[in-house]
Structure 1
């Protein structure tokens, strides 16, 4: 069932229950008042009988005018009355006002001088199931005493209460139904902003990710939800744009080597060639194929890194930052000497990282720095504890051509090159791999240009107790 129907049913049940509880309270109060009124009337009848029997002429009237006395004592209360002589006088029945012959209970009579109270009433059930109340008491009759057996059956009261109970049930059901209708109407009207939001979201698709939900006519409770959905749409739009750009960049990167391979093969096959020409062609094509293999390996690494960043924790361990920098400097010493660049390592700190990934990130940064460093300059490799002391910051600094500010923030993007003329060098994925490695370590990678000819790449590795949640690899 829908949310509105469920809320309507619950409100109907609550309204019905509340009406039933209120009706039960009113019913109990009404029943108590009726019972108290009837009990007071019964006790008043007993007092009336005692006063009447105490008159001087009553004994003679019992013998001569029994019917008149019976009609006088019955009154409007329709009480059942039996008057018996004392056991010493034979205990015979002197007067009976009991048309149906109902057997009245025989109780211990109250003394003649004692006033009856509600505590002296005896409650019982008549054979027809109606509630009844009785009281027995001694009364003066001339010079002697008689036993009064007084009772009343409240069949009319039970019928009145039964009708009242049915009214409570009917009112409770009616209140529940009315509450359900009102609540359903209010819910339908209250959910109108959700229906408008649903219509807005239905209009959003791959070609219209720039659309945003309008929260102006939504209740305050939905503002955070709408803002969250809009933020999600912004991330999806950005990710979709990056995916399209990545597809375009990948097609561009693959087109060049494939065109080269195709063109060389077509030229070579246009006429017969010497064996040496075929060997040179195969050697050239092998270089292009190796470049394609490196590109595919890098793309597979990025894809696996993004998946593993969310599903597989790294096996990190404390590593000597100075030892790792020295290892990379020794590995790139020949390339640096060929380029006329000097490598310098500084500082030391414990780096909490996975060894192979740390070495790959450093190798990519150092390879990039050596390729772009100006001949005769110095490439500085530095490691130091971060400001909190729990993690470490590894930086690689080189002197080279200035990078435009608009390109600086895009250096970690896939296939991006600040200098398109140098597209033949590398695959354009080295810095993207560095950022992916830092994402897996819950750290960060940044680039800054403190001076026009100085580029600094800094990697922050958090300590084992200060790991932040993994950010979105796409960002």
Structure 2
């Protein structure tokens, strides 16, 4: 079954609603008209029966009805749809005016003493399908005798009027259906033109045109939110693609450096015969470069996994001081070789993933040891507050320029290229720190002055 367009669906709904409205309204008017016509016909019958009773009640005997026949049948004279019949108590017909020879049924009679009202009018159908309405009543004469009278009419005229009105209603409803479908289709199609313009603009967005934006100046109010959402999405895609391109270029550059070192060292070693010690030195150098490549690949894989919305963490409560002391003990040998002291001053309990917490602090501590002068000390502190726990890693040394502070946590960002190319740095440590904090719903920040450079990890309260 082919799918209908939104325009066709709305046009169809407009047509259905129009038919329902016209049908309901027409049906109500039809019933009101039919009730009005029947009420008017019944009122005429009632008035005629009352008039007949009043005239006949002035007569002194049933024979007087025959004598005053012209006076009585004048009530229905000239109207082919009316009929009148009067008969005595023995069933003898005293007066009958029925030019169309309608079949008159047996009707319940109104007592002479009762007032004739509209509810006394009865309806029946003849053998040939005609609808009849009439009223039967008893009439008391002056001599005390009672005669029976029936006044009625045939309803083909009113029924023809109602049938014509019904046919007009059907034709009007059909025309309204067609008009609503056609005009609704045109109106909806014109109203949805901004939506087609949005689709057309979106179709022009390509990898090379991610800066394209969907114009929203002429969009209806209902589509402004959609246009803004699409433009925001395009802006995020453009920024993400730019970051991905820069990330890929930086990754290729960083991978090329150790690979170039390994190839250069190997080519130099093979240029002429070397001693075993020299070959051993080349192998050691290549192993160091391989370790650097392994760390870089591991860091890249971690960032890729952490960017996945389905990345799972195992968070639990633990004493902050114990974990910071454990990290400090791990780096104690490196710090001793560099002549640097590590001081831990922490308290409180933290709810976080222990492995990720250790990795973030280790990256900050390794970075601090790399830029701390000999004889100085690196401090690791943590304090607990109502809004959460803040862990700070501070080290003395040359201050970082303010223009670099906001980009330190970007992937492969370089403040000093000469330092960043060392074999123990992959350029991803601080980026991993920021990713870990984002996974915990926290944030990472840095501040630097002539006294020290401080990195802060802000863990929100549980």
TM, length-normalised to structure 1: 0.89
Determine the structure 2 residue equivalent to 1:238. Answer: 239
Contact 1:49 1:73 survives alignment (8 Å): no
1:27-66 counterparts in 2 under 5 A?
27-54=30-57, 56=59, 63=66
Please state whether the residue corresponding to 2:94 is helix, strand or coil.
strand
> How much has 1:311 moved relative to structure 2?
1.2
Query: Partner residue of 2:414?
Result: 417
CA distance in structure 1 between the aligned counterparts of 2:386 and 2:70, rounded to whole angstroms = 115
Cα pair 1:372 1:400 within 8 Å, conserved: yes
Q: Is the 8 A contact 1:381 1:397 kept in 2?
A: yes
The residue aligned with 2:22 is 19
- In structure 2, how many angstroms separate the alpha carbons of the residues matched to 1:407 and 1:330? 31
Q: CA deviation at 1:439?
A: 1.9
Match of 2:120 in 1: 120
For residues 361 and 129 of structure 1, the distance between their equivalents in structure 2, rounded to whole angstroms, comes to: 98
Q: How far apart, in 2, do the equivalents of 1:240 and 1:206 lie? A: 9
CA RMSD of aligned residues (A): 2.4
Query: C-alpha distance in 2, partners of 1:77/1:313?
Result: 95
Partner of 2:402: 405
Equivalent in the alignment of 1:293: 294
Residues in 1 aligned to 2:329 and 2:174: alpha-carbon distance in whole angstroms: 88
| Cross-structure match for 2:197 | 196
> Matches of 2:322 and 2:257 in 1, distance apart?
40
Specify the SS of the correspondent of 2:208.
coil
SS at match of 1:74: coil
Q: Is the contact made by 1:374 and 1:401 (CA closer than 8 Å) also made in structure 2?
A: no
Q: Which runs of 5+ in 2 are unaligned?
A: none
CA contact (8 A) 2:52 2:75 kept: no
1:8 to 4, 7, 11: 11
1:357 counterpart SS class:
helix
| Structure 1 match to 2:279 | 278
Which residue of the partner structure matches residue 354 of structure 1? 353
Structure 1 position 185, deviation (Å): 2.2
Secondary structure of the corresponding residue to residue 307 of structure 2:
helix
Alpha-carbon shift at residue 223 of structure 1 (Å): 2.0
CA distance in 2, matches of 1:239, 1:227: 18
Change (3 A) 1:346 1:129: farther
CA deviation after TM superposition for structure 1 residue 67, in Å = 8.8
Match of 1:462 in 2: 460
Paired residue secondary structure (2:366): helix
Conserved in 2, the CA contact under 8 Å of 1:126 and 1:153? Answer: no
Per-residue Cα deviation, 1:39-71 (whole angstroms, up to 9, x for no partner): 111112212323443455996675579799767
Equivalent in the alignment of 2:135: 135
Instruction: Give the 3-state SS of the residue equivalent to 1:352 in structure 2.
Output: strand
Whether contact under 8 Å (2:48, 2:75) holds in the other structure is: no
Query: Who is 1:163 aligned against?
Result: 164
By how many angstroms is 1:374 displaced? 2.4
1:239 deviation in Å?
A: 0.8
Deviation of residue 234 (structure 1)? 1.5
Q: How many residues align?
A: 456
Q: Give the 5 Å matches for 1:68-467.
A: 73-76=76-79, 78-86=81-89, 90-99=90-99, 101-140=101-140, 143=143, 144-307=145-308, 310-388=309-387, 391-422=388-419, 423-424=421-422, 425-449=424-448, 451-464=449-462
Q: CA deviation at 1:328?
A: 1.4
Deviation at 1:331, TM superposition (A): 1.6
Deviations 1:124-164 (A, max 9, x none): 33334443222211224563331112222212222221221
The separation in 1 between residues aligned to 2:129 and 2:452, in whole angstroms, is: 106
